[in-house]
Amino acid sequence: MPLIDTYERALHDLRISVTDRCNFRCRYCMPKEIFNREYEFLSRELLLTFEEIHQLVTVFAGLGTEKVRITGGEPLLRKGLEDLIASLATVDGIKDITLTTNASLLARKAQALADAGLHRVTVSLDSMDDEVFMAMNDVGFPVADVLDGIDAAAAAGLLPIKVNMVVKRGVNDGSVLDMARHFRNTGHIVRFIEYMDVGTTNGWRLDDVLPGGDIVKMIDEVFPLEPADPNYRGEVASRWRYKDGSGEIGVITSVTQPFCSTCTRARISAEGTLYTCLFAAYGTDLRKLLRAGATAGEIEQVIRGVWEQRTDRYSQLRSSQTIGLPKVEMSYIGG
């Protein structure tokens, strides 16, 4: 029997953060005022080892998980990540291994990741304009270097590549058309993401959200679009095809059109805490079980118990009452 929660949502996707560190300071995720030189990141001994991650993925695969996404922080900062990918590629039942990255180190690592067994990458890029993008990543990283990483990933066969753009009204909404224009006819898929209230440090306000419907309308007026069917149940992005056949875009509308009802994702933080929602405040410590010598069966029972009791639907319940509630930071849990 498939493992399902209280809303009959199966557990198909697992996102694993391998580090809480990042070399960007994107203001919607890790604002420099908080994540500065005084901020204490997790020490190495607190991070799950690659062997522990392999153990957990094996258990999740036995519960029906088919897709694993490696996240961070910036996952490519984790030394020897290729070894983890190679290890996960041997787990029976795992059909798709992907990685989300800011691409700052992707040009030099793409081929090794592909050789190890990585299938695809998702790259974060919030503008084609250097001034806007460097202001958003807040470390002066240029667009050209991200594009080099995308090209290297494509050359290594990590396809199709998805390019995530978080759209914040009044900050980079003027870059939407440029992003669409640049990636048309490339085979890469830009996904426009509504600015979300993940964590408690990004100063989120509803007024800063540009609705996905407005984004689609903006692009459609220049490059006509038509809706496309989802690739699979639980796909987070609504799909839109260019009518001229030049590709597609995705729009992730967790604020204005929540997709909680089809969410099949669990998340494990860099120190081994299991969360069942991106907006969770509390999780379940799996590292403690691993390091206490728990068997695979014992760990499975804990995961099963957590998922079967899952009631998460934060985005459907979002209101003035949820603003300010404690939530884990995205850099810690993974996007």
Please give the torsion angle defined by the CA atoms of residues 299, 300, 302 and 306, in that order, rounded to the nearest 10 degrees: 140
- Say yes or no to pLDDT of 8 above 60: yes
Q: Write the pLDDT tens digit of every residue in 274-293.
A: 999 888 888 999 999 999 99
Residue with tokens 């009518």: 243
Range of lowest pLDDT (123-132, 226-235, 311-320): 311-320
Q: Is the C-alpha dihedral spanning 197, 203, 207, 212 positive or negative?
A: negative
CA distance 185 to 163: 14
Closest CA to 199 of 54, 23, 42, 27: 27
CA distance 177 to 187: 17
What's the pLDDT at 314? Answer: 78
CA distance 247 to 208: 28
pTM for the whole structure:
0.94
**Average pLDDT of the residues in 297-314:** 96
- Token reading at 330: 């995205």
The domains of the chain are located at 13-333
CA distance 178 to 181: 5
- Where is pLDDT greater, at 314 or 148? 148
Look over the chain and give the mean of its residue pLDDT values, rounded to a whole number: 93
Q: Which fold has domain 13-333?
A: TIM Barrel (3.20.20)
- Say yes or no to pLDDT of 133 above 90: yes
The angle at the Cα of 123, spanning 119 to 124, to the nearest 5 degrees, equals 155
What's the pLDDT at 276? Answer: 95
**Average pLDDT of the residues in 19-27:** 94
